[in-house]
Amino acid sequence: MGRTLAEKVWDDHVVRRAEGEPDLLFIDLHLLHEVTSPQAFDGLRLAGRPVRRTDLTIATEDHNTPTLDIDKPIADPVSRVQLETLRRNAAEFGVRIHSLGDVEQGVVHVVGPQLGLTQPGMTVVCGDSHTSTHGAFGALAFGIGTSQVEHVLATQTLPLAPFRTMAITVEGDLPDGVTAKDLILAVIAKIGTGGGQGYVLEYRGSAIRSLSMEARMTVCNMSIEAGARAGMIAPDETTFAYLKGRPHAPQGEDWDAAVEYWRTLGTDEDAVFDHEILIDASELTPFVTWGTNPGQGAPLGSTVPNPEDFADPQERTAAENALAYMGLEAGTPLREVAVDAVFVGSCTNGRIEDLRAAAAILEGRRVADGVRMLVVPGSVRVALQAVEEGLDKVFTAAGAEWRHAGCSMCLGMNPDQLAPGERCASTSNRNFEGRQGKGGRTHLVSPQVAAATAVLGRLAAPADLVSTNVAVEA
């Protein structure tokens, strides 16, 4: 019987397989950041162990980093200590690091791919659940806890429990204005926050094939919000074209050998998935969340659901709690929900294509009065590219704030946070209670919906700007 993409990558990394033990897998790339690594380095120090493969390890600063005044000392002393701890650990153990101010600094899941370090057929781990992002290249990539970070640092391997496979096949063309973000939000709403549990998801079908690498990263990034172990997309010409010429991509004969191998990775025709889901791309519309988990989403054109309509008692209670927290009434059209803030950025939607999409909508328009809009590039490289294209000027002319790279308001570990009760349309990945600041209310959206929402001051799609004639007077 044939094998799936995930099974092939797994098999190619088995270091040890023994009866009654989990497979021991080799890890090709270990990404580190400041939040989940300090206790792991402490563990190494206590046991007197070195980092086994510093040449497969790289660190960047992202979660705590400020997005203003980055040339000044970090105001929050606790954040400062955490960043300094990473710098000290990297120096002591010989790990490459990109600190605040470095041209390669940025969100860990933006930095890896842009350096060309993320490649098809690799195993990639990081102490961060959104490591699933790297699956867009046909890598088996997943988030790990700090104990596992220490394990990888010490051994470059991980003992891993077996997984099941799920195909999510999306056929057809995405309608205009419908993006990878809408697609993945619709998938999560369909299968639920636990629907992917124990599975590696493989996104397939013509709609997936036609996505850019950056859009594929958006899709794979949110696999974890469906509870999945990982999300993957088979490598193809789009993947190879993205990688070619990047700093760490193979060169010359190595490139040819790599591409030959990468072409063998796709799921065999006679392979069988443990579970399959089919989605018609043409039926998708701009999608937003109304609740406090990423599975609580609905088409923008619909209304806030009534908890009574949920048959499952757990889901009903969850919906009641969510509406109370979100300050929403059942039956309200989502388009009538007014926002206080808009956030464009994060490892989900902080890449150059995301900024271009938001800027294209804001060009010649203004952010609505009373709405604060933050645009935070995913990395310094993304920021430089945006400046070269003049996108920063579009954002500032529209009244948005153009910031330095980092995780920022996705999780509010730095000063970029919502005030209690504030409502935000956010291109990030989690709408959990308090995620963007204590008492803050988050609606997950695409960059296009974020920009249109900023202009109208209420949840909106770009098409609404034309139909309501708000813009283009300048």
Partner 1 sequence: MEKFTTHTGRAVPLRRSNVDTDQIIPAHWLKKVTRSGFEDGLFEAWRKDESFVLNRPERQGATVLVAGPEFGTGSSREHAVWALQNYGFHAVVSSRFADIFRGNSLKNGLLTVVLPQETVERLWVLTESDPSAEITVDLENREVRAEGITAAFELDDNVRWRLLNGLDDISITLQNEADIAAYEATRPAFKPRTLPVS
Q: Which of residues 132-191 bind partner 1 (CB under 8 A)?
A: 142-148, 150-151, 154-157, 159, 161
415 binds partner 1 (CB under 8 A): no
Dihedral of the CA atoms 192, 193, 197, 200 (nearest 10)?
80
Q: Which is nearer to partner 1, 155 or 285 (CB)?
A: 155
Whole-angstrom distance, CA of residue 213 vs CA of residue 219: 10
* Of the candidates 232, 290, 280, the residue with the CA atom closest to the CA atom of residue 423: 290
309, burial (CB in 10 Å: exposed 0-12, middle 13-18, buried 19+): exposed
Least distance to partner 1, CB of residue 349, Å: 18
Q: Does 434 bind partner 1 (CB under 8 A)?
A: yes
* Beta carbon of residue 369, minimum distance to partner 1 (angstroms, whole number): 30
In DSSP notation, 18-37 reads -TTSPEEEE-SEEEE-TTTS
**Min separation Cβ 47 and partner 1, Å:** 7
Q: Which is nearer to partner 1, 253 or 473 (CB)?
A: 253
Tell me which of 236, 315, 340, 389 binds partner 1, using CB under 8 A.
315
Nearest CA among 230, 231, 235, 229 for reference residue 213:
235
**Contact letters (x/-) for partner 1, 1-20, by CB under 8 A?**
--------------xx---x
User: Judged by CB under 8 A, which stretch of 128-136, 298-306, 338-346, 365-373 contacts partner 1?
Assistant: 128-136
403 binds partner 1 (CB under 8 A): no
Neighbours of 247 (CB within 10 A): 9
Site residues (CB under 8 A) for partner 1, limited to 235-254: 247-250, 254
391 binds partner 1 (CB under 8 A): no
* Closest to 11 (Cα-Cα) out of 264, 249, 270, 276: 264
Site for partner 1 in 68-107 (CB under 8 A): 76, 78-79, 81-82, 85, 96
> From the CB of 459, what's the least distance to partner 1, in Å?
22
Give whichever of 172 and 198 is closer to partner 1, judged by the CB atom: 198
Nearer Cβ to partner 1, position 184 or 371? Answer: 184
Q: Return the number of the residue (145 or 421) whose C-beta is nearest partner 1.
A: 145
| The binder of partner 1 chosen from 175, 438, 466, 472 (CB under 8 A) | 438
- Contact indicator for 372, 342 with CB cutoff of 8 Å: yes
The residue (of 52 and 356) whose beta carbon lies closer to partner 1 is: 52
- Residues 6 or more apart in contact with residue 375 via CB below 8 angstroms: 344, 345, 355, 358, 395, 400, 401, 402, 403
Q: Binder to partner 1 among 412, 423, 452, 455 (CB under 8 A)?
A: 412
Strands (E), 84-139: 96-98, 123-126
As measured in angstroms, the least distance from the Cβ of 204 to partner 1 is 22
Please report, as residue ranges, which positions from 332 to 351 form the binding site for partner 1 (by CB under 8 A): none
The residue among 295 and 447 lying less far from partner 1, judged by its C-beta, is: 295
Residue 161 CB, nearest approach to partner 1 (Å)? 7
- The answer to whether the beta carbons of residues 14 and 23 sit under 8 Å apart is yes
In angstroms, the CA 359 to CA 344 distance is 10
Q: Which stretch binds partner 1 (CB under 8 A): 175-183, 326-334, 353-361, 427-435?
A: 427-435
The residue within the footprint of partner 1, chosen from 5, 186, 279, 413 (CB under 8 A), is: 413
Q: Which member of 4, 60, 65, 119 binds partner 1 (CB under 8 A)? A: 119
Q: Does 202 bind partner 1 (CB under 8 A)?
A: no
Q: Does 411 bind partner 1 (CB under 8 A)?
A: yes
Distance of CA 322 to the CA centre of its chain: 23
Pairing of strands 23-26, 14-16: antiparallel
Residues 267-296 binding partner 1 (CB under 8 A) are: 292-293, 295
Q: Which is nearer to partner 1, 296 or 453 (CB)?
A: 296
If you write DSSP's letter for every residue of 277-319 in order, what string do you get? EEEEGGG---EEE-SSSTT-EEETTSBPPPGGG-SSHHHHHHH
Q: Which of residues 211-230 bind partner 1 (CB under 8 A)?
A: 224, 227, 229
Please write down the long-range contacts of 109-113, taking CB distance under 8 Å and 24 or more positions apart: 109/31, 109/133, 109/134, 109/217, 109/221, 109/347, 109/378, 110/347, 110/350, 110/351, 110/378, 110/379, 110/382, 111/31, 111/58, 111/60, 111/379, 112/29, 112/31, 112/58, 113/137, 113/213, 113/217, 113/242
A 10 A CB-CB count for 375 gives: 33
Minimum CB distance to partner 1 smaller for 194 or for 301: 194
Window 351-390: residues binding partner 1 (CB under 8 A): none
